[in-house]
Amino acid sequence: MGIDILKTRLPRIISVGPNLIEHVPETLIELGGHESNLPVILVHDDITWDIAGREITALLQDVGISSQHYCIKQPTIDEAKNVSSLANEIKATHILGVGGGSVIDVAKLGSKIANLPFISIPTNASHDGIASMRASLLDEGKKKSFEANPPIAVIADLEIISQAPFRFLAAGSGDAIANKTAVLDWELAHRLKGERMGEYPRVLADMAAEHVIRDSKLVSRGDLIAAKIVTKALITSSIAMCLAGSSRPASGAEHLFSHALDRILKKPALHGEQTALGSILMMYLHGGDWQRIRGALETIGAPTTAKAAGIPEEKIIEALLIAHTIRPERYTILGSTGLTEQAAREAAEITGII
């Protein structure tokens, strides 16, 4: 019997706690980011510059590490290419993503293109891209998923994350809980299609979801403890994906449903809000305990209906009908032919999504 060779990259440093922004310089020094006297790049947007970017720049300057900042306007592949070009131009040593999911994804893909180490500094905990090796960005107006560099370090300051609007934390909870249906789809593909499945990343992803479900009352408080629970769950999901070498442990039919909504809505809801709705629907299709997922999300305060998420009900049906076409190579409970309109409507009505 042959033995598979596991080749993956994981963060060398993961720091989760309050007031960690001040530790960014020492983390860079530990990673060797000060030895060449070359600059680092801070990627941020207008909001996250004020939240953390300006302070990090000053802290780096205090220890003699120079930096340049790049403010993104849109989460596009062109912005990632711009970050890479700037990095090459100034001979940067590291790229730091300071912000939410869009900022981190731009920095992450920019580091991949430039072949530079990436440091993730999230300012909210809205989805599991914090430490994953995938980036979801717009390419010619359509959101696509790209292979990217996982971070060499993650610095999650819970003071900052807990002060972000609670909607982001609730969305992050939804993205973590969605692992429940993602692993069921992975198991299904393993049994029916012979797809390779890693037991360790599967268990990690399920454990991350279970922690958020179990502690849903604590998460609903939106305090430091809540931020810690959700952030650690999202990082665990990211690690599971890194170990699996794909997004399989944390992305199944519920994510295909979310990506379908991204395509058909002029203004989609937050990614984690959409995957939360998707996880309720897909657990119903799996014949599992969808009421438990819905109950946890309700306790947390995440949307559990199309109306609460600001999505027209007919768009829910439309997304369910096309979800199987988003990544046809990824086998899920939706199968290769998808749902009939009657089945889609029945699932949405029985689960109370519409």
Query: How is residue 69 written in tokens?
Result: 């900042």
**Would residue 2 count as lying in a domain?**
no
Query: Which pLDDT belongs to residue 33?
Result: 61
My answer on whether 133 and 44 are in the same domain is yes
**Would residue 170 count as lying in a domain?**
yes
- Cα–Cα distances in angstroms (integers) from residue 1 to residues 7, 196, 245, in the given order: 19, 15, 22
Q: Under a CB-based contact definition with an 8 Å cutoff, are residues 133 and 241 in contact?
A: yes
Domain end call among 163, 190, 209:
163
Q: Under a CB-based contact definition with an 8 Å cutoff, are residues 218 and 211 in contact?
A: no
Domain end call among 128, 163, 198:
163
Please say whether the dihedral angle defined by the alpha carbons of residues 260, 48, 33 and 91, taken in this order, is positive or negative.
positive
Written as one letter, the residue type at 291 is: Q
My answer on whether 122 and 194 are in the same domain is no
Reported confidence tier of residue 146, pLDDT bands at 50, 70, 90: confident
Return the CATH number at 99. 3.40.50.1970
- Cα–Cα distances in angstroms (integers) from residue 265 to residues 56, 110, 275, in the given order: 36, 27, 15
Q: Which domain holds residue 97?
A: 13-163
- The full length of the chain comes to 354
**Would residue 142 count as lying in a domain?**
yes
Identify any residues that bridge with 40 across adjacent strands, giving them in sequence order: 67
**Would residue 3 count as lying in a domain?**
no
Q: Under a CB-based contact definition with an 8 Å cutoff, are residues 334 and 256 in contact?
A: yes
Domain end call among 123, 138, 163:
163
Residues 6 or more apart whose CB falls under 8 angstroms from that of 72 comprise 43, 44, 45, 79, 102, 103, 106
Mean pLDDT over the full length of the chain: 93
My answer on whether 154 and 188 are in the same domain is no
Chain segment 270-283, per-residue pLDDT in tens: 999 999 999 999 99
- On whether the pTM is more than 0.85, the answer is yes
My answer on whether 261 and 200 are in the same domain is yes
**Would residue 149 count as lying in a domain?**
yes
Largest CA distance in the chain: 64
Spatial distance between the Cα atoms of 309 and 297, rounded to a whole number of angstroms: 12
My answer on whether 84 and 189 are in the same domain is no
Chain segment 173-231, per-residue pLDDT in tens: 999 999 999 999 999 999 999 999 999 999 999 999 999 999 999 999 999 999 999 99
Spatial distance between the Cα atoms of 187 and 10, rounded to a whole number of angstroms: 24
My answer on whether 38 and 183 are in the same domain is no
Chain segment 84-95, per-residue pLDDT in tens: 999 999 999 999
My answer on whether 68 and 177 are in the same domain is no
Written as one letter, the residue type at 107 is: A
**Would residue 267 count as lying in a domain?**
yes
Spatial distance between the Cα atoms of 81 and 43, rounded to a whole number of angstroms: 12
Asked if residue 2 has pLDDT above 50, the reply is no
Spatial distance between the Cα atoms of 231 and 235, rounded to a whole number of angstroms: 6
Spatial distance between the Cα atoms of 280 and 304, rounded to a whole number of angstroms: 8
My answer on whether 171 and 157 are in the same domain is no
Chain segment 72-81, per-residue pLDDT in tens: 999 999 999 9
**Neighbour-count burial for 267-304, b at 16+ CB within 10 Å, e otherwise:** ebbbbbbbbbbbbbbbbbbbeeebeebbebbebbbbbb
**Would residue 66 count as lying in a domain?**
yes
Return the CATH number at 274. 1.20.1090.10
| Residue 136 or 168, more confident | 168
Query: Which pLDDT belongs to residue 7?
Result: 53
Query: Which pLDDT belongs to residue 36?
Result: 65
My answer on whether 86 and 190 are in the same domain is no
My answer on whether 159 and 202 are in the same domain is no
Query: Which pLDDT belongs to residue 24?
Result: 95
Q: How many domains does the chain have?
A: 2
My answer on whether 154 and 218 are in the same domain is no
Spatial distance between the Cα atoms of 52 and 38, rounded to a whole number of angstroms: 22
175 closest CA partner among 131, 110, 120: 131
My answer on whether 135 and 203 are in the same domain is no
Reported confidence tier of residue 143, pLDDT bands at 50, 70, 90: confident
Spatial distance between the Cα atoms of 26 and 30, rounded to a whole number of angstroms: 6
